[in-house]
């Protein structure tokens, strides 16, 4: 589904990613761990297409397409979803209105009719239940006045409604209490299937107790320096990252 080769990316001329390779197949969950400043969030931003990041070398193939040639919104419609570390507030725009606009943009891209209001409301109610998001949040302004945990739940909720093929979770566990963490993880586990894939960026092993990864990668100084299974995360928890430094 996703094949990243020798990826180099800069922010304001400063190299952050320095030859990253990563292959993700459908049905897999990949965890990306690593110390602060290693380039984890940069990877998420580059995949989403954020303009402040400049790709200087390498390639990203997504479902047979050159991802780097697609606009941000085209990537999203093709199935790239980024769950934001800090979800953005948009006052006056209701959660459902935003989501319906997004869903219909995707459906039109796929050659489908826009979804009517009735079907859409049935869909969002079902998905809200899945992430235990109170339906009162549906009509509230997007993320405005939401607590940290509610914002993160709302990201997973959007993910559930849009049903993307590649889900990138950028430190979704940061700022979550243990109950919210369980809810978010349960949502992800229900969403995972043989046709989609997850890239879970995290600092802590804790999230991986609930979302069990197929692969754990250590990102350090812009490169993946070690890959293992879920036990690698436990090892990192114990030893830290220093022992991996060359």
Is 68 near other proteins (CB under 8 A)? no
Is 50 near other proteins (CB under 8 A)? yes
Among 141, 163, 165, 174, binds other proteins (CB under 8 A): 141
How far apart are the C-alpha atoms of 19 and 115, rounded to whole Å? 42
How far apart are the C-alpha atoms of 88 and 172, rounded to whole Å? 14
Instruction: Kindly tell me which of 172 and 205 has the beta carbon lying closer to other proteins.
Output: 172
Count how many Cα atoms sit within 13 Å of the Cα of residue 46 in the half-sphere of its side chain.
Answer: 28
Binding mask 89-128 for other proteins (x = CB under 8 A): -xxxx---xxx-xx--xx--x-------------------
For 101-153, give the secondary structure using H, E and C: HHHHHHHHHCCCCCCCHHHHHHHHHHHHHHCCCCHHHCCCEECCCCCHHHHHH
Among 73, 126, 177, 237, binds other proteins (CB under 8 A): 73
The window from 16-24, 54-62, 72-80, 116-124 that contacts other proteins (CB under 8 A) reads 72-80
Sequence-distant (≥ 6) Cβ neighbours of residue 39 within 8 angstroms: 9, 16, 17, 20, 219, 221, 222
Contact residues: other proteins, CB under 8 A: 48-51, 71-73, 75-77, 81-82, 84, 87-88, 90-93, 97-99, 101-102, 105-106, 109, 141-142, 158, 162
């Amino acid at each position: 589904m996703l094949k990243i080769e020798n990826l180099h990316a800069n922010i304001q001329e400063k190299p952050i990613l320095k030859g990253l390779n990563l292959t993700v197949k459908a049905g897999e969950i990949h965890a990306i761990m690593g110390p602060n400043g290693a380039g984890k969030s940069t990877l998420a931003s580059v995949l989403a297409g954020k303009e402040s990041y400049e790709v200087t070398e390498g390639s990203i193939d997504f479902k047979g397409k050159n991802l780097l040639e697609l606009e941000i919104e085209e990537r999203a419609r093709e199935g790239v979803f980024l769950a934001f570390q800090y979800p953005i507030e948009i006052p006056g725009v209701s959660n459902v209105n935003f989501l319906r606009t997004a869903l219909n943009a995707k459906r039109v891209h796929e050659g489908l009719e826009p979804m009517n209001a009735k079907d859409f409301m049935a869909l969002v109610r079902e998905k809200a239940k899945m992430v235990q998001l109170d339906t009162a949040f549906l009509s509230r302004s997007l993320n405005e006045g939401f607590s940290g945990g509610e914002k993160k739940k709302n990201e997973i909720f959007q993910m559930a409604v849009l049903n993307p093929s590649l889900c990138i979770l950028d430190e979704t566990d940061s700022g979550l209490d243990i109950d919210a963490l369980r809810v978010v993880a349960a949502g992800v586990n229900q969403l995972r299937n043989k046709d989609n894939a997850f890239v879970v960026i995290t600092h802590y092993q804790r999230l991986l107790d609930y979302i069990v990864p197929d692969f754990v990668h250590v990102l350090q100084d812009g490169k993946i320096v070690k890959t293992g299974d879920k036990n690698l995360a436990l090892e990192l928890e114990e030893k830290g990252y220093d022992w991996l430094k060359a």
